[in-house]
Structure formats: C-alpha cells, structure tokens
Copies of this chain bind each other. A is one copy, B any other.
Amino acid sequence: MTRLSPTARREEIVAAALRVATTKGLANTTVRDVAAEMGTSSGLIHHYFASMDDVLAAAFEEAAGTDLAKTKVAMLACCDASERLSTFFASYTRTEEYRAFQMWLDAWAEASRRPALGATSRRLNVAWQELIAATLIEGVNDGVFVCDDPAATAWRVLSLLDGLSLQVAAHPGVIERAVVLDWAMTALEGEVGRPMRSLPRPSTDEGRAVAS
C-alpha cells in the first residue's frame, strides 16, 4: 500500500473500522476485518493503536461524536428552545439512527469489558445529556418551559429515548418506529409543563434533512 502520513493513516483506520462496525456491530469488528476493509495488512493497525479496544473506541467516538455535532448544528438553526428540542428528537429518531443504534447497544454491553470503549461511551452519553439540559435551561430562561431540575429531566428524556430506541433496534416490530418520536415528545411535554401535543411534531422529512 502507498505510504501515508501517520495522521492520514490513523484517520483511514478509524474510518474503515467505523464502516465495518456499522455493518457487523462494534462487538464483532476484528483487526482483520478492518485491515481487509482498507486493503492493507493487519499489523498496520497495531502500529497505530495499542489495542483493538482503542480502535473500537476511536471508531465509536467518530460515529457518535459526528452525530452529536450534526445535531448541534441543526439545533442552532432553530429560533427557540421548543423547536430546538423538536429538532433534537427528530434527529435522534431518524431511520438511519436505528440502523446505527446497534453500535450503542454494543458499546453499552462492552463498556465493562473494554476500558477505552467504556470511557468513550460514558463521555458521549454525558455529552448528549448535557445538550438536552442546556436547551431545557434555555427554555426555562425564556419562559417557555417549567422545569425544576433540568439535569434530571435531561437524563429522563435521554433515557426514555434510549430505552425506546433500544426496543426498535433489538426487537424489530415490537414497537413501531414511527411512534417513538411521538411518545417521547408526549413525555417531554409532561416534564416541562406544556399541554399535550403543544410542541411542534417534526415530520420524518425534517429528520432526514439533518442526516445529509
């Protein structure tokens, strides 16, 4: 293979690992899979990463971190906290997200067995919660939300979304994908003292726009 600069090669390894993990799941991604995906030798991966744990952690960081950044950008385009949260829900319940959600399932399950992946999973999960909490506080300051404990509400909202998405990803057909967004927003309305169905329900297409 053509000799690349360390930074370029590192990025390529992470990208390849992510591509494999998206298909086979994080837990099933092996050194040889990643090497084959790049068309290089397997020894090369260990020249850049001390262990497979580190590779998976970097790949997961790339996936979940990029999603988080995209969601933040989409939320910034909104004019108030209500719309921002609607946009958040929309991007979280996108069709492609459910395909990528297997990665979160693997990360949570492997967290106790792979230290680096566990640390990354923890950090990103907290980052998602903080994004919700910040938006809730903003809404309270603007007078559109009523919320005693934004941090707690943020954890509840995120955990509800995770719990529902988990069913969609792990047990297809048990919960219809389409209702997750509606159910989660209904719960949020109860949390922030808004009447039922008062928050704008984004269409699926709005969600797709975030993905590109």
A43 and B39 alpha carbons, distance in the complex (Å): 39
A53 at the interface (CB under 8 A from B): no
Greatest chain B CB density within 10 A among A106, A107, A161 is at A106
A83 at the interface (CB under 8 A from B): no
Greatest chain B CB density within 10 A among A28, A107, A152, A166 is at A166
Stoichiometry, as copies per complex, reads 2
Closest CB of chain B to A117's CB: distance in Å?
Answer: 10
- Knowing A108-B109, A112-B25, the reply to whether A121 touches B162 (Cβ < 8 A) is no
Interface positions of A from 151 to 175, Cβ below 8 Å from B: 152, 155-156, 158-164, 166-167, 169-171, 174-175
- Chain B residues positioned under 8 Å from A108 (CB to CB): 105, 109, 166, 169-170
Chain B's closest residue to A122 (CB) is B171
Flag the segment in A66-74, A88-96, A183-191, A198-206 that touches B.
A183-191
Closest CB of chain B to A59's CB: distance in Å?
Answer: 16
A27 at the interface (CB under 8 A from B): yes
Contact residue range for chain A? 35 or more
- Knowing A163-B160, A179-B152, the reply to whether A170 touches B111 (Cβ < 8 A) is yes
Contact A112 B162 (CB under 8 A): no
A81 and B121 alpha carbons, distance in the complex (Å): 38
A164 and B126 alpha carbons, distance in the complex (Å): 12
Contact A174 B28 (CB under 8 A): no
A164 and B162 alpha carbons, distance in the complex (Å): 9
- Knowing A106-B109, A163-B163, A164-B156, the reply to whether A121 touches B191 (Cβ < 8 A) is no
Given A102-B109, A108-B109, A159-B159; 19 other pairs, CB 8 A cutoff: A27-B109, A28-B113, A106-B109, A107-B170, A108-B170, A112-B170, A118-B171, A122-B170, A122-B174, A152-B179, A152-B183, A155-B164, A155-B167, A156-B164, A159-B162, A159-B167, A160-B160, A163-B166, A190-B190
Instruction: Give the top 3 A-B pairs by smallest Cβ distance, nearest first.
Output: A159-B163, A163-B163, A109-B109
